[in-house]
Amino acid sequence: MLCYQPYKELILKYFNSKLNYSTQPKGVIRRDRMDGIFLGMEAILNFKTLIILFMGVLFGIIAGAIPGFTIAMGVVLALPFSYGMDPINGVSLLIGVQVGGNSGGLITACLLGIPGTPSAVATTFDGYPMAKNGEPGRALSLGLWSSFIGTIISGIILIVAAPFLSQWALAFGPWENFSLMLFGLCAVASLDEGSLIKGLLSVSLGILVSFVGIDPLLGIERFTLNFDELKAGFNFLPVLIGIFAFSQMLTDINEDSKNVSYSNLNYSIFNSLKDILTSKFNLIRSSLIGTFIGVLPGAGGSIANIISYDQAKRFSRNSQRFGTGIKDGVIASESANNSSQGGAFIPMMAFGIPGDATIAMLMGALMIHGIQPGPLFIDNNPTLANSIYVAFLISAVFMLFIQSKGISLFLLVSRISARHLVPTILIFCTLGSFSVNNRIFDVWVLFLFGIIGYWMKRSEIPLAPFILGVILGPIAEKNFQMSLSSNPNFSEFLTRPISGTFIILSILFFILPILTKKLKNN
């Protein structure tokens, strides 16, 4: 084990002299935090744990890069291996899979136009056009460095501001959660100022699909058409793969776009950092948005990347270039979806509430080892809690190293002809859909929504609002019903400060494109 005791004593001695710990209780808290960080470093920085963490990141990148194999599926496959490990090594393995998988989705999003994970949906909007414009190396490099910096920023916020952010997120009731979902739907529906109607149509179709199944509170069947398989609703994974992957393959076969040969297979670190620094405000804003959304249970990177992309477009002087391969689109999406992972740890560690599905699995791994996440988690398990902080940050470094060294291998995907690539992706997509519930019905769902997605593309109806409607529809409906069950007075949505703020923002996002278009016409 690497020893940091001499350095720890010097640093603590310096802060002790600056903060006068004997007279400032707050200084004691700061010192306890610093002691905890060093405990985490001593627990993680040993050869065995670092190898486990490295392998977790590598496996996560591979899982995230395969369309249909989501981060959650990667964590599920890694869970059995973590059972025989001690808690620190087991959690480190799962954190590595989570961080690697969240970044791995950008590979196919940029090279194939198919998001490897739901959190990489918005990356396809500009990453794929940039690759088709002859800059695949630049697209991957921008996504990689944005992912790395977004992860580091959220990790720092996780360590420094966890108590404040977790308390604020806990104040969200069903009214606030519904208003937030409404805000997200309005924001994504108005992404394209020139097609507000199509955006609303897309998000409405997504919400309609989310209604299929049994009502969560009333127990009434809706749109099941007497199919027993539909009583639980459409599983999100086959719908996602069909809308993006299968429809993209149909488009590629029709247009034969995968026969394009990319020649620019390299992009220097210097140029990548130069691109990042010229968009530093976009990077920081997107990372903060991602962390904020990650704190909210159930939100996650699939929402963060789209909302952040929307905000980047609205604040950009070149908003009309979004969707054509602009760097700000890739930076906004990747920094947000990766920073959301750090935010998702906050409610889990402080209150025992998982921020997303992968954090829920990590909670399950902790509970198997007899550790209960919640208000007493950090106090009762200081070494493990601080090991999570350190493992999260080191995973970002490993992710940067693995992808930067393997970027030439990832770029070789662009040289595979369509007649070989499409069947291979189809096999993975079919296996991914089938493995959800081990039933052929989900494969038919994949084909059905692939055809729907292809029709939407041909009709120039955006896909992102549809997906967000499928994601947010059940959450919004559940919180809406819960709020009315608690208080049937609709004024609660406006009189509660946080909820009212989101309602007002939703209205502004809805009418702003209309007003902007009228002003331009005048």
Burial class (CB in 10 A: 0-12, 13-18, 19+), 237: buried
pLDDT score of 254: 63
The least confident of 77-86, 373-382, 472-481 is 373-382
Buried b (16+ CB within 10 A) or exposed e, 465-493: bbbbbbbbbbbbbbbbbbbbeeeeeeebb
pLDDT category at 217 given cuts 50, 70, 90 is confident
Arithmetic mean of pLDDT, 59-80: 74
Arithmetic mean of pLDDT, 170-176: 76
Arithmetic mean of pLDDT, 156-163: 76
pLDDT category at 27 given cuts 50, 70, 90 is very low
In this structure, are residues 136 and 110 in contact, taking their beta carbons and an 8 Å threshold? yes
pLDDT category at 498 given cuts 50, 70, 90 is confident
pLDDT score of 2: 47
pLDDT, tens digit, 9 for 90 and up, residues 126-155? 888 888 887 888 888 888 898 899 899 988
- What does pLDDT average to over the chain? 76
Arithmetic mean of pLDDT, 479-505: 85
Arithmetic mean of pLDDT, 427-439: 75
Encoding tokens for residue 325? 């391969």
Arithmetic mean of pLDDT, 385-394: 88
pLDDT, tens digit, 9 for 90 and up, residues 94-109? 889 988 988 888 887 8
pLDDT category at 166 given cuts 50, 70, 90 is low
- Helix%, strand%, coil% for the chain, nearest 5: 80, 0, 20
CA distance 512 to 522: 15
pLDDT score of 176: 82
Measured from the Cβ of residue 137, the count of other Cβ atoms closer than 10 Å reads 24
Flag whether pLDDT at 456 surpasses 60: yes
* Highest mean pLDDT, choosing among 165-169, 282-286, 352-356: 282-286
DSSP string, 96-148: HHHHHHHHHHHHHHHHTS--SSGGGTTHHHHHHHHHHTT-HHHHHHHHHHHHH
Helix intervals (H) in 352-417: 357-368, 377-380, 382-405, 407-411
Output phi, psi for 213, to 5 deg: 125, -160
- Residues 6+ away with beta carbon under 8 Å from 161: none
pLDDT score of 26: 43
Flag whether pLDDT at 4 surpasses 90: no
pLDDT score of 259: 44
What does the DSSP 8-state code read for residue 232? Answer: T
% of the chain residues with pLDDT over 90: 4
Output phi, psi for 222, to 5 deg: -135, 125
Q: Which residue has the higher pLDDT, 418 or 290?
A: 290
pLDDT score of 320: 76
pLDDT score of 3: 47
Arithmetic mean of pLDDT, 392-404: 90
Encoding tokens for residue 381? 């398990």
Residue 74 CA, chain-centre distance (Å), reads: 14
pLDDT, tens digit, 9 for 90 and up, residues 298-345? 566 677 888 888 888 888 787 778 878 888 888 888 888 888 888 888
